[in-house]
Structure 1
Amino acid sequence: MGRKDYLADLNLVAASPRSYDVLEVICGDESAAVIQVDSQYGPVTITAHPGETSSYPNDHGFALYVSDSTPDEVSRIVASFNLQLGKDTTIPSLCQELARRLSVDADGDTEMPDSQLDDEEDDVSDTESVYQDSLFGFEADNSRVVEDSPASASYDNIIPLDARNGLRQDLRIVKEAGFKIAIYGPLIQGHPAYMVSSCRIGKLGISDEAMQAWRLLPSEYLVLLIHFSSGYRHVGHIEDMASGNGMMDFRCGVSSSYKPSRSEIIEAFTMLSPDAQNHGVDSKSTGFRKLFISGSLQDLFSEKFAMLLKCRLKGMSWDGALAFWHDHQGTSHKAELAHDPKYRQREKVSAAYPALVTSDHLTNPNYGCRISLPLVAMQFFIRQVVRCTEFCLVCHRKVPTDIEAIKPYVCDSHLCLYQYMQLGFGPSIEHEIITQPKVVDLLISLCFSAAATNGLKPRHLPKGLGLRVPPVDILRLNIVASPYTPGVSPTPDGRPTLLPPGVAKPLKATLKHRELLFNKGVTRNDAGLKHGDWLLLQVKDLEEVVHCRVEDLAMFPTIKISHPIVLPQDGGVKTLDLEHTPPGVHEASFIPYSEDFDQLSDGAMKEVIHFFINLLPSISDMRAYLLRNGSQASLRKWSRMTAPSLGLLRWIIASNRACIMQNDGYDGQHAQPGTAKEDKVWGMPGYTQFRIAMGAPDKERRFMQSVKTTAAEMSLQIPTIFAWHGSDLSNWHSIIREGLNFNETLHGRAFGHGVYFSKDMNTSGSYSSYYNRSVETWRSSDLSVSHVISLNEIVNAPAKFVSQTPHFVVSNVDWIQTRYLFVQSGSPAMGQAARPPMTPEGQEKPRNPIPQDPVHYPINGNRQQLIIPATASRSRPKTAKSTTTGHAIRNGFKKLKSGVSIQHSIDSEDDGNDSVTTEAEDRQMLEPEKESTGSPAVLIPNKAFTDFEPGTLDRNTLELLPPPEDATPLATKRLQRELNNIRKVQGSLPLDELGWYIDIDRFGETMYQWIFEFHSFEPQLPLSQDMKKKGTKSIVLEMIFGGDYPFSPPFVRVIRPRFLPFQQGGGGHVTAGGALCMELLTNDGWSSASSIEAVLMQVRLAISSTEPRPARLDLYNKYDYGIGEAVDAYIRACQAHGWKVPPGFSKMVYAGRSNERRS
């Protein structure tokens, strides 16, 4: 019974963690308890591994572990507690004791609320400098010039002048290295602040193709944000401490300016729940947004940067440091192991990268002995972005070089693939489906064809996804087979075989109500099901076997299921029509998705992939669902997507290593930049055209260098030619991941080793599925792909090819660049037209065609010469007019020399002349500081920017919610810390820059009720103009907290003035009753890690938002919002959006009284 008792206690605490003073408890690997506790440093995660659970709760014991990113003081407390743990400690008592120990100061004294208002977290623990490095076993090296004075003191006169100037020098070093640098907040005074370092993308030598694949623009900036939570930290601090993590927090992104606004930075550091976060890359085109690998970089900087830097300071390279970290994590005697020469080898970096990418401050400081921590971090950031395809996105080690790709991915480790998918490091499938539906359809179709015809290579199989699938033998009985499904014979009557009686478990079903009833005597353990499990279900008198998900087991032996999914005989996939199912209770049987996909044979994996791709809805249906459900829509929540199908869809999109762009919009809309209709090749009617770039990011540069060299040697007027390459449909899944090569022989090599091309489309088509009438297509495809052929640009040197008749055979892959994919829609197997008519006369010809070789040019199926737009290639010189204009714009219309060459088109990189001038306040931070007599204690708002007058609000005129009656020590402690932070921030920045104000001197009687004002809105906003008309200088709001804060969000409402409701033309996310309509303020979007400063900024951004409409004031209504109407409006908003109202909401807003409505 020991293990059952242990699991029962674990489930008890997991179901109600707040009752045990912790944030969250889940069951981890090997039944470990993963406990999240709110400490004075923020939420921390502790893993408790039990000993012998069979002896629980009397003689089992626990071993406690924390991650590398855990603050040192927390690690020390947990380590001390680990030694004191008794063998009879239960899970509930463990959670409560951890919460108690981590809620006190490092010296063991209970936090005093009054003193915390003054000096909370002002001083760095004295113990930090005496602890040796517990992970690497290194002794501190004090030979470098670093400051020893505390950088986190509370007032200017505590931080010595030389320490402040040391910070300024570190910033100057960053500037002199070629990067922009800026500061938000009183960093120089030792308070929490943000540091911004950035670099314009056009200076980094990234190819146009890579920028397009990575969604970057040369005019944008790569931005690294660093949040110093307790003052500036230099290299010496990290070198001396046991763990450098916890002192800094990082965010990586892209910005349209070198210095994102303060509100954008606050938003970047705001913690949201996973379901409330935008999926993948931000869709914003201006301001600060996520980078395409932000998730991976966030993990790298948060978990490993400090430890890697300590290794670097001991003489290792970045690659060596990463290898050392992975090889010896958790082992002893690291100091001796660190001297292994393999960790100290110099990196080999391509000479094609500019110096800004390859410079290493740690090996060539050039500033005496001083090391600038911001510069080290920035150079590491640039290295990881520009060279991203060289590294695994999870473990960050070098990936094999045998495959070149333009997009980054993971290494061959199954664990890395699993983490990559689970942690969401890959592209957002929702974003891709909305913006590039044809590309996603193509990728799925190619994978389906590869799986159906054994064209899926073992190295490309998705091992490590952690999928659970039905037994393969059962799937084989239920495949809806066509005459062309390899290895599967259709049943005589054309229907799939149902579930075998000896294998399936019996029960009863009421499909109309989506309920299953287990037979008498069956327990939950016997059923073996949990929420979210998927089933194959057969119901008597129902023709098809259906797939459904377990939705609710609360009423066991009756369970609720999702809307069943079926594969009808006429193609596609759909949900079962419950209105026309047989009424009443019916005999049924089910088989769970119980097989581990990773344990299947390669052949069985391909069968499963084939089956579950067919179970995917069409891309048009997915896209309609996402558009219908708004920006936060997730396919994970859609009951029409089985878990294996969704996992495979994510893998198909994430593992695509090529950049593919549809050449026209979806149904004539949503065309992508650079893929306008005039960029289409003339002469290919009836084909869907895609632009494509494959190979490493520098593949285009190598190709262009080959073009330049060959053109000079042979005096070529036309430096390149275009030719076709055809391959069977089942091969293209691999081709777009590996590029065109000749590693395998598929059709013989009668004319030598190399990649085969033809000028005649019909010749290349004979090697593809063009004439193959046995091709099977994905049944839900909107494209119905039956034939793919590529158009490629090749160096114009046929004499140097392996062969030039009857085919071009090219052995140098650097001489090849694939430019277009042409996809024929309509499957021959489905009886549709196999060959579209070649009558391009109605198609618009490119206005700027590329000149072609008079002898070697591509022709279509009707032997007509293709007309290719000049945008297809960078190998040809632009016209004098276009080149001069474009270059003049970049260089301020300086006079150019006449004439254009291939060399110019290759080397015309962005030289940085159009860099934005650094703002005066940022330049001032770089200047050495002189002795000062002091600084003003209060920052007066600049009257030129605001008319707001702080301290003039009369609280007695406000109708407020009653103070909450369920205060708890945990909530009180957190609110005291938040108020102290607000006081510091508000006292260090001008009010007109903050945009919000809290009168702390008149705070009121309770910590649980905050009154704040928004002011100084941008003058161009309609809201700002309405405030001028109404004579209102601020928006007054109330924020109230419950006793379960920070586990539940506060309630925020506007008190005055009244806003126009949305129905009358208003906006700004303010409801008709004054409550805020924001997912952040509900259980769905709230995170216990969110700070009140971040909440204030997010609410102000929402009110300032002009989407979908800008906020407007009601200029004629002078009454304040009532309490009852605000509460009602909040509940209505939650119900309308499907958000969860926080538990205890009524108790919080009405202080335990009846839910009376006050107006």
Structure 2
Amino acid sequence: MTLKQFNADLAAAVSKVKAKHFDRIISLRKGESDGELSITYENENLKTPLRIQVLIPNISEYPKKASFLIFTENEDIPAALAATLARLQDQSTGLDVDAMIITLSRSLTRDLQTGGPASDDAASDTEEDYNYGSDDDDYDEDDGDDLFGIHQDDPGDLDAQAEKLHPRLKQDLRTARQHGYKVGIIQSAPTNNIVSISVRASKFKLPEGTLEVWGIRPEEYVVLLIHQTGPYLTLEDIVHPKPYPERRAHFRIGKCAHYKPSFMEALRAFHSPTDDNSPASGANEGEAKLKKIFISNSLDQFLAEGLLNLIKIRDIEGISWDQANEVLLNFQIGTDTAHTNITTTPCKTDPAFAGTETPQRFRHDHLGDEKDGQRSWPLVAMQFAMRYLLACTRYCLRCHRRVQGDIETLKPYVCSNPLCLFQYLSMGLGPSAEHEIRSQPKVVDLLVSFCYTGLTANRSAANPVSCGIREFPVGLHLRVPDIRPKPEGPFLEGTITDDFQTFKFQVAAEHLDRFIPKQWVAIRLNTPPGELGPLTPVLTPVPTPVPGKEPTHRAEAGDLVHCQIESIDYLNQRIHLEPGIDTGSWSSPRADAHKAAKGQACLLPYVQEFDQLGQGAKRLMMAHLLATLPSISDIKKFLDQNPLSKVKDMPRISPAAMSLLNWIIASNRSCIFETGNPELPGNNSSAPASGGIIPGMEGWVQFRFLQGSPDKESLFQNARESVRRSKHLTCPSIFAWHGSALPNWHSIVRTGLNYAETHNGRAYGHGVYFSSVFGTSLSYTRSSQLSFGIWPNSDLRIVAAISLNEIVNSPGDFVSTSPHLVVSQPNWHMCRFLFVKSEETPEEKAAQKNPPEGHQYSQPYSNYPSHPGNARDTKYLQQDPSRTAIDPLGHPLNIPLAALPSYHHEKSQTSPEVIDVSDNSSDEHDSDTELLASEDDESPPSLSTDTSKTDFRPGTLDLGSLPRLQPPQWSSQLGLKKITFQVSQLQTLQSRTPLHELGWYIDFDQLDNMYQWIVELHSFDPSLPLAADLKMAGLTSVVCEIRFGEQYPYTPPFVRVIRPRFLPFMQGGGGHVTAGGAMCMELLTNSGWTPISSIESVLLQVRMAIMSTDPKPARLDRSAMSGARTDYGIREAVNAYTRSARTHGWTVPEDIEKMVTGFSAARSGA
């Protein structure tokens, strides 16, 4: 029984699902490939139905020996189900479709009810004791460090599992473990391994504040996954001149509650989209889930693009990682003198860790320090990853060069190269907008609000362009509508008609081909042709449109409406538009609010290059784009309801608005956190703890800065330390308030305070003005000469902002100290806290004027807790008694130490809190101990080379004389999976079958390219003329090549002889070998090939064809008989194959040409 039987069983099962024959199986369908099916399982204990994919790789052996690959598309599943699916893969061999579905359904239902089977991942870490301990105690007694993936409850699997491991891989992992890392095998196969190397975050010895900003808990593990396809790659293979494929090793770095993720999580990590925006799930802590960390995207890409090349460069040149990276970057940009200005003198101290207290285990350089003996490249990869993780704030996230500056920030960013900024945003290397919105929606609201206010600010009639935005998002290739009074870009004038649901735009027929459905456009309503006039900023709320619901407003003349084209009616010359987002002025709702404005209008497509606009047009366009965004709370709700979606997937968000939102989030280099009650609406429990809240600030939303912008912070700390030393101060800094108009804050949170512009006069000298008294600074937040808009869809609706700043305590050097502190030194002050006031609604204002009897009205949208806890347990900063900050009630302000940078802890005789969670272990599993203790592993089954039965000797072929190709760029996941499975099957068969019986040989250790195999056919029947010819020519095998095409397994591989040359058919030869060396067989054309054909059968039939004497036996060409080596070329082989197929009426595969041109240039040979 084969594929035909499988399809029949599947069709019957589909009918049974429709009749509800299977318990809890709600859908079943055939997959995209043969032997694949999709199952949907539902259970009241699951939030969403479970989507399960089942693949039978050996469909030709269905059902008796067929095995099942079972995995799920769901992102978040209980650990019990992951273990169930993994177990079912081993237990389902030999079942038919019906039995497999019944087993699957019953197992899932039972394990959901009982909590699932015991497993190493689910049971080993359930009650870890996270005590503080020494750095030398590395191994948990309950850690389950199953070096080779052996289940605790099944030690009998040791031999079977170890047999699958490459001996060198086992040795390399032992080396990594000896250096203090935890290792594990997640998947083990001869040509497909997934290994994990991990370390607990507490071992980094970083302050808790740093881990908090990075989103990593001390008890979590940082895990590096290495997925290697093909034969195991050793460090010697990487360093030596021997060619190797570029993408044989794949990497993923993340965090996990356990020392290794589950099998299903590892599969997701390598096969899911790289831009993980799924929320932090409410999964049980016991689940071995792998989650991305803040630097995952950047580091994954760096590992994939550079690690293998950097290892080779470092080892050959004897230089550091930074120097090797410079060499590689220069080579990539085409610089001939790759080593120009690059110091090749070995560095005694790694600059990545200069001036830090990084533990020695992370400073150790296995590649550079240990030249003797066999080195472990998985250990090198882990050390490389940890180096860039721990020093990430010193390096650019894109080019990975050292950034300028002598201080680390808490958040990594890019260097000053504009290309790095563009790639940082466009390639998703920076902070995920989805993650930021889910974790800290108020901070995102704050950043967008500040930007919008800065854009809409008009300081005076004489200078309307002046605003709080000093840098614009240029270089991002934003496409926007041209909203200038006289557009220079394309626009279209027409007439708006009304259909009560969407706009219809009547245009001339010749203009219709300029537009396509889903294209974004902007419409100026009721605007006569040629009279667009100026467009004003948005100053009023913009209701968020609801899809499928008619508008609740009436559009006004001159309004700008943003929408997408729904469809184009070519017959009636109309463009149908989806419901739009009006960013012009809005009138109050009326009875006829459903009626859209009719009349002349101008349609402006999103085709204008943003960078070409003037500064005034840029800020106006940015304001209108931000006005089209929904509120952050609405976006968060959408993401929560659609955990696999991105912000750009939300209806009615244009690409331009999405790019602008990304820029606002990513370009902010300050670390801003909301403090306050975590139960407040919109606050996220994953945000920093609220222990740093400042009392006495009721009615204000509080934010804290763990670090200012990098360049300013560096200079400030240098100045503070210099003053402390020179004046021997106990309190080298003081705190004071600064009030500024709202439009200024977009720049302040990025670059700090300065006095480049004068807004309120400078009666007491030039400098930045501060006050110890809150009320004094509050008065400067209001300005009668400045108008600005509030971001229409803001939840915060900020009307005022005031900061609490840290200032170098040297009043004698200030411009003035009374009545204000005037500081002219731009690097002597840093904003540490920010307080914002929300606009009151009419209902709130009325409630304050006439509060209910006995009711004390609280201020709107404050994060100040009603019961902040026991103040006695909070440690506060010791301030200079003569310069103490005063709160709104006139009392001395108490500033919690928990909310301040770490150096304040040191000066307050409180050391920075370094978290170290103990992971002692003294009782490792017996199976692990036994395996680790073994010095040498048994060699794999040896090949029988009885000289009495064959004269063939494996390993004697000079592979360097043959064409060796790089893997193709077009390789598919299905094709690679099928080839990998075939390699595994053939390798097992070859290791267990005597050579003379098998008749073919593949050197799997030299199989660099999975899409190109070299096969030797040998041990032919001595009675054949071919055997005699080979012996006379001094040869023991026929060397063949197999190439797999782009559409494999749906198209056959291409098989040809490379050497020796055969006597052509026209000259009396045979053996089904064409004049160009290709095999003349229907099996190897589309006419005779089926996707279920195995390569084992191909090799068998090719060998039989060559041995065939009908109509004539195969003979060698005279040139081969004389000892001359004249190999067949690939082009002549393909040409002969094509001619032969056409002669017989066989169909040639469409991808045959790519067999020649689709691979990279040959490394050697023809």
Q: TM-score range by the shorter chain?
A: 0.5 to 0.7
1:535 aligns with 2:522: yes
1:564 to 2:580 alignment: yes
Q: Report the equivalent of 1:468.
A: 479
Selected match of 2:431 from 427, 431, 438: 427
Aligned to 2:197: 197
Q: 1:364 to 1:326 in 2, by over 3 A?
A: closer
CA distance in 1 between counterparts of 2:389 and 2:211 reads 11
Q: Which moved more, 1:594-603 or 1:709-718?
A: 709-718
Preserved CA contact (<8 Å) 1:682 1:844: no
Q: Is the 8 A contact 2:206 2:914 kept in 1?
A: no
Q: C-alpha offsets along residues 1002-1060 of structure 1, whole Å, 9 cap, x if unaligned?
A: xxxxxxxxxxxxxxxxxxxxxxxxxxxxxxxxxxxxxxxxx99999xxxxxxxxxxxxx
Q: Is it true that 1:514 corresponds to 2:502 in the alignment?
A: yes
Confirm whether residue 687 of structure 1 aligns to residue 700 of structure 2.
yes
Q: Pairwise mapping of residues 612-651 of structure 1 onto structure 2 (< 5 A)?
A: 612-627=625-640, 629-651=641-663
SS across alignment from 2:500 = helix
1:439 alignment partner, one of 436, 443, 468: 443
Could you tell me which amino acid in structure 2 is paired with residue 426 of structure 1? G
Q: CA deviation at 1:225?
A: 0.7
**Alignment pair present for 1:451 and 2:455:** yes
Matched residue, 2:935 = 929
Matched position secondary structure for 2:372: coil
Alignment of 1:832-851 (within 5 A): 844=867, 847-848=871-872, 849=874, 850=876
The residue aligned with 1:263 is 264
Match of 1:393 among 390, 393, 397: 397
Tell me which of 872, 881, 890 is aligned to 2:899.
872
Equivalent residue number for residue 671 of structure 2: 659
TM-superposition CA deviations, 1:285-341 (whole Å, max 9, x none): 843201112222222122222222222222343333333333332648x6x634653
Q: For residues 427 and 284 of structure 1, what CA distance do their matches in structure 2 show?
A: 23
Distance 1:412 1:739 in 2: 18
Structure 2 residue aligned with 1:352, among 348, 352, 356?
Answer: 356
CA contact (8 A) 1:206 1:697 kept: no
SS at structure 2 position matched to 1:822:
strand
- Take 2:178 and 2:812, find their aligned partners in 1: how far apart are those partners? 50
Q: Distance in 1 between matches of 2:236 and 2:404?
A: 36
CA distance in 2, matches of 1:344, 1:459: 42
Partner of 1:106: none
Q: Residue 612 of structure 2 corresponds to which residue in structure 1?
A: 599
Higher alpha-carbon deviation: 721-730 or 768-777: 768-777
Match of 2:914 among 895, 909, 913: 909
Kept in 1: contact 2:706–2:900 (CA 8 A): no
| 2:594 paired with 1:580 | yes
Post-superposition shift, 1:673?
A: 4.9
Shift of 1:824: 1.7
Given the superposition, is the C-alpha separation of residues 871 and 581 from structure 1 closer, same or farther in structure 2, using an over 3 Å criterion?
A: same
Q: CA separation in 2, counterparts of 1:472 and 1:813?
A: 38
Q: Deviations over 1:828-887 (max 9, x none)?
A: 999989999999999546623426444332113442333344533466999xxxxxxxxx
| TM-score, reference length from structure 2 | 0.55
- Give a deviation string over 1:41-61, Cα, whole Å, max 9, x none: xxxxxxxxxxxxxxxxxxxxx
Code of the residue aligned with 1:865 in structure 2: it is P
Q: Tell me, which stretches of 5 or more residues in structure 2 are unaligned?
A: 1-31, 34-57, 67-157, 458-464, 528-553, 850-856, 943-970, 990-1045, 1051-1166
Cα distance between partner residues in 2 of 1:812 and 1:383: 36
Query: 1:974, CA displacement in angstroms?
Result: 7.0
Change in 2 beyond 3 A, CA 1:871/1:403: closer
**2 CA distance for matches of 1:500 and 1:712?**
61
* Counterpart for residue 855 of structure 1: 882
Question: What are the Cα deviations for residues 102-124 of structure 1, in whole angstroms up to 9, with x where unaligned?
Answer: xxxxxxxxx9999xx99xxxxxx
Counterpart of 1:783 in structure 2 is 796
Q: Alignment RMSD, CA only?
A: 5.5
Partner of 2:411: 407
| Local SS of the residue matching 1:337 | coil
- Asked if the contact 2:770/2:821 (under 8 Å) is kept, the reply is yes
Contact 1:405–1:737, Cα closer than 8 Å, also in 2 = no
| Change beyond 3 A, Cα 1:919–1:763 | farther
Q: Distance in 2 between matches of 1:925 and 1:785?
A: 63
Larger radius of gyration: 2
CA shift in 2, pair 1:396/1:874, >3 Å: closer
- The alignment status of 1:546 with 2:561, answered yes or no, reads yes
The 3 A distance-change label for structure 1 pair 280 and 622 is: closer
Counterpart mapping for 1:264-413 below 5 A: 264-272=265-273, 278-279=277-278, 286=285, 287-313=289-315, 314-329=317-332, 331=334, 337-338=338-339, 341-342=342-343, 346=347, 348-349=351-352, 350-356=354-360, 359=363, 361=365, 364-366=368-370, 368=372, 370-401=374-405, 405-413=409-417
How do 1:682-1081 residues align onto structure 2 when only pairs under 5 Å count? 682-695=695-708, 721-739=734-752, 757-769=770-782, 774-793=787-806, 806-808=819-821, 818-826=831-839, 844=867, 847-848=871-872, 849=874, 850=876, 852-853=878-879, 854-873=881-900, 905-906=910-911, 908-910=913-915, 913-914=918-919, 920=925, 926-930=932-936, 932=938, 976-977=978-979, 980=982
Cα pair distance change 1:810/1:437, threshold 3 Å: same
On the 8 A contact 2:561/2:580 being kept in 1, the answer is yes
Please give the residue correspondences for 1:26-45 in structure 2 after superposition, counting only pairs within 5 Å: none
Measured in 2, the distance between the counterparts of 1:752 and 1:178 equals 59
Question: Is the 8 Å Cα contact of residues 663 and 671 (structure 1) preserved in structure 2?
Answer: no
Q: Is the 8 A contact 1:254 1:291 kept in 2?
A: yes
Amino acid at match of 1:466: H
Q: Which moved more, 1:173-182 or 1:642-651?
A: 173-182
SS of structure 2 residue aligned to 1:341: coil
Stretches of structure 1 that go unaligned for 5 or more consecutive residues are 1-37, 40-110, 119-155, 478-498, 879-900, 937-968, 988-1042, 1048-1159
Match of 2:836, SS state, is strand
CA displacement at 1:822 relative to structure 2? 0.5
SS at match of 2:226: strand
Instruction: Give the C-alpha shift of residue 812 in structure 1.
Output: 8.8
Distance in 2, Cα, partners of 1:910 & 1:654 = 29
Displacement of 1:354: 0.9
What is the letter of the counterpart of residue 277 of structure 2?
N
Cα pair distance change 1:757/1:165, threshold 3 Å:
farther
Q: Following the alignment from structure 1 to structure 2, what is the Cα–Cα distance between the partners of residues 1046 and 507?
A: 56
1:906 alignment partner, SS class = coil
Contact 2:456 2:789 in 1 (8 A): yes
Q: Which amino acid counterpart does residue 658 of structure 1 have in structure 2?
A: S
Which residue number in structure 1 is paired with residue 493 of structure 2?
A: 505
Q: Percent identity?
A: 31
- Name the CA shift for 1:671/1:392 in 2 (closer, same or farther; >3 Å): same
Q: Tell me what 2:236 maps to.
A: 236
Contact in 2 for aligned 1:174/1:375 (Cα 8 Å): yes
Partner of 2:1060: none
The 1:805/1:508 distance shift into structure 2, 3 A limit, reads closer
After the TM superposition, which of the residue ranges 223-232 and 563-572 deviates more from structure 2?
Answer: 563-572
Cα gap change, 1:838/1:194 in structure 2, threshold over 3 Å: closer, same or farther? closer
Change (3 A) 1:298 1:727: same
Q: CA deviation at 1:790?
A: 1.7
- What corresponds to 1:253 in structure 2? 254
Contact 1:391 1:408 in 2 (8 A): yes
1:791 CA displacement: 1.9
The equivalent residue for 1:940 is: none
Structure 2 Cα separation of the partners of residues 699 and 262 of structure 1: 46
- Structure 1 distance, partners of 2:356, 2:429, is 28
